[in-house]
Structure 1
Amino acid sequence: MDARDVSSLHDSMRRYGIPGVLVPVDAQNPHGPWRVVDHDGAGPRQDITDDVLAAVHASTRRRPERGFVITK
């Protein structure tokens, strides 16, 4: 994921009201995996990646808008 991908994902998180900050797992390797952390400035960062992925999935899940079923 590059800086553009991170920016796009961060914008999407904000649009859906999902908290968190995106940070690379390894600060020396910004092209490696990234995590979402919650940080209020007072304590250590807490990894909330799994919660954010679940929230994004729940907020973007849509039913099919059209289609048909063929029965035998």
Structure 2
Amino acid sequence: MTNYRNFEEINRDLKRLNLERQIALEELKGLKHDVKEDFSTPNWLGTIASFAKKYGLLYLLRRIFR
């Protein structure tokens, strides 16, 4: 717990904490946008396509060399 000597110190800390809160909120907004972008349909389709390509090729190679 901080001991304050005057109201000026209290106000300074309140302003600093308010700025830190605003920065944290802006960071959350950015993270929200990133998550939205990560879960968008084109990203999922690209991931599924690369997965299918990779494991489809492995499946074909296994079938050929058996």
TM-score (norm 1): 0.28
Larger helix percent: 2
The TM-score normalised by the length of structure 2 is 0.30
Larger Rg: 2
